Amino acid sequence: ISRKALGGAKMALLQLHPWHSSTHTPFTLQVPLKVTKQRSLCIRSAFSCSNSYFSNKCKRPYTSVMIVPTGVGAAIGGFAGDALPVARALASVVDCLISHPNVLNAAMLYWPVQNILYVEGYALDRFAEGLWALQPVHQNKVGLVLDAAIESELRLRHLQVADAVRASLGLPVLEYAVTDKCLEVEKWIDPKTGRSTGRIKHPDSLLRAVQNLMDHSQVNAIAVVCRFPDDDEDDMDDYRQGIGVDSLAGVEAIISHLVVKEFRIPCAHAPALLPVPLSQSLS
């Protein structure tokens, strides 16, 4: 149902208060980060080094950053999930690896790694510039924004996923909000650069929904689900065969960048799409 969401979990939510159970350990988001505007770049973490060379030689945790640009047809990471093995290999020789959704999400799948920090791209850019610091947190309080353009049946499917995530993983998703306007997502491939890009016609409606969740539910992380145009069948077949550029990725990045830039909290996006036809040629 959802391609990307915060911490790799496909989430939505129904009730106003966190779900607790004495028989289930609450699901810990290893990766989302609280973003604070500081000059210090120190990351205080308790990650143990998985490589004895670094643990013996380094006086402080050895941190590396892995970036694969989104929507450009990269040789590694240009198709859903194929950067994950590289990220896991790199994480095995550093104390802390900082990366982003395009690397760590494999469409419906996600592989959590204890010493990998999952950071939205805009925040990662500001971190690299030395403008923001990143603070690992034990767990985020998540709010969900649903595009008003999502059909009622498709919306219900996302909310049912939210209930499943809360009940099975104990994920603290507190509330959801529906935008007051259809966001009207548009996507296209830039003919000059060959990269995917796009826009939403009503970004103000998205920002109002996020602000309402922050004001009324005190959430500190946001998952956004927008209704995307359904792909042309030929284009979808090409991408499912690993050919060409992910036509969704560029505008997905624009959406999450907008929220993180405005509110300085973690955000991830998942497109709402109708189910695609079954293909026997996928492997």
Which residues have a Cβ under 8 Å from the Cβ of 139 and sit 6 or more positions away?
Answer: 26, 27, 28, 29, 172
Q: Write out 119-167 in H/E/C secondary structure.
A: CCHHHHHHHHHCCCEEEECCCCCEEEEECCCCCHHHHHHHHHHHHHHHH
**Which percentage of the chain shows pLDDT scores above 90?**
48
pLDDT digits (tens, 9 = 90+) for 58-96: 568 899 999 988 878 787 876 666 788 899 999 999 999
Q: Per the structure block, which two tokens stand in for 185?
A: 């997502």
Banded pLDDT at 281 (limits 50, 70, 90): confident
Q: Which residue has the higher pLDDT, 248 or 27?
A: 248
Alpha-carbon 92 to chain mean position: 22
Cα(103)–Cα(78) distance, rounded to whole angstroms?
A: 9
* CA angle (32 as vertex; 4, 55 as ends), nearest 5: 120
* Range scoring the smallest mean pLDDT among 177-191, 205-219, 232-246: 232-246
pLDDT of residue 101: 85
Pairing relation of β-strands 96-99 and 116-118? parallel
Helix, strand or coil for residue 258?
Answer: helix
Confidence of residue 32 (pLDDT cuts 50, 70, 90): very low
Q: How many CB atoms lie within 10 A of CB 58?
A: 14
Report the chain's mean pLDDT, rounded to a whole number: 78
Confidence of residue 38 (pLDDT cuts 50, 70, 90): very low
If you classify domain 6-20+139-272 with CATH, what class do you get?
alpha beta
3-class DSSP state for residue 270? strand
What one-character DSSP code corresponds to residue 16?
S
Domain layout of the chain by residue ranges:
6-20+139-272, 33-136
Question: Residue 42: which pLDDT band, with cuts at 50, 70 and 90?
Answer: very low
Is the pLDDT at 234 greater than 70? The verdict is no
Q: Residue 106's beta-bridge partner residues? A: 109
118-163 pLDDT, tens digit each? 899 999 999 999 999 998 888 899 999 999 999 999 999 999 998 9
Is 70 within 8 Å of 110 (Cβ atoms)?
Answer: no
Is 180 in a helix, a strand, or coil?
Answer: coil
Three-state DSSP at 91 gives: helix
d(CA 145, CA 226): 8
Label residue 30 by pLDDT band (50, 70, 90).
Answer: very low
The single-letter DSSP state of residue 266 is -
Cα angle 186, 188, 193 (rounded to 5 degrees) comes to 140
